[in-house]
Chain A
Amino acid sequence: GAGVSQSPSNKVTEKGKDVELRCDPISGHTALYWYRQSLGQGLEFLIYFQGNSAPDKSGLPSDRFSAERTGGSVSTLTIQRTQQEDSAVYLCASSPDRGDYEQYFGPGTRLTVT
């Protein structure tokens, strides 16, 4: 079946512009996660959605970052007024339910802020 998809696969933007990254989770998965991975670094948790519960936003690095999940499915991560330090691969993952189920990752969006 279809896995997690993300778009765009690559995004180059100028400093100060806003960007939107999209994630389509596996159908039926109630949990959705966003992570950020800088070159050669580990995954940094950003935000977590679980069903209709309030999202866990504890990993968002600043108020320039926001995310929403519409209809319990597709999610968008928005970065406003991008900075060069925002350059990274943004990974989305989904899982059937709780955190101790396997997370299935999308291929990521590589964001480059010039």
Chain B
Amino acid sequence: RKEVEQDPGPFNVPEGATVAFNCTYSNSASQSFFWYRQDCRKEPKLLMSVYSSGNEDGRFTAQLNRASQYISLLIRDSKLSDSATYLCVVNAAGNKLTFGGGTRVLVKP
């Protein structure tokens, strides 16, 4: 089993709709969680950290479920510019971040 697993997608989303997807992690001792965004042929950039209580940043909401060992990302009112690959990132031990394979989201008019 991979340390961090994501549905590769693509998730085809009509503009204005809501899309949500999860990421599961295998190490129950994982401490820190993040969502990164990667545009095609570009480097990843931090979208948001994921806190235990859940957190929201504009149209983006991240949740952490420690019992079931997954984090989620929800995007409301999807924009065409939200089309990207969303990478789940987990810090399980030490200072090494483990990246998931990414979930591709395509927002269409």
A99 lies within 8 A of B91 (CB):
yes
- B53 interface residue per 8 A CB criterion: no
Query: A45 and B99 in contact (CB under 8 A), knowing A102-B46, A107-B43?
Result: yes
* Chain A residue nearest in CB terms to B44: A105
Q: Is the interface of B mostly helix, strand, loop or mixed?
A: strand
**In the complex, what distance in Å separates the CA atom of A35 from the CA atom of B31?**
21
Q: How large is the interface on A (under 10, 10 to 19, 20 to 34, 35 or more residues)?
A: 20 to 34
**In the complex, what distance in Å separates the CA atom of A60 from the CA atom of B43?**
20
Query: A41 and B101 in contact (CB under 8 A), knowing A105-B45, A108-B43?
Result: yes
- Chain A: minimal CB distance from B50 (Å): 11
Within B15-46, the residues touching A (CB, 8 Å) are 31-32, 34, 42-46
Q: Which residues of B contact A33 (CB under 8 A)?
A: 97
- Can you list 11 residue pairs at the A/B interface with Cβ under 8 Å? A42-B100, A43-B44, A43-B87, A50-B95, A99-B32, A99-B91, A99-B94, A99-B96, A100-B32, A105-B43, A107-B43
Q: How large is the interface on B (under 10, 10 to 19, 20 to 34, 35 or more residues)?
A: 20 to 34
* Chain B residue nearest in CB terms to A50: B95
- A81 interface residue per 8 A CB criterion: no
* Chain A residue nearest in CB terms to B101: A42
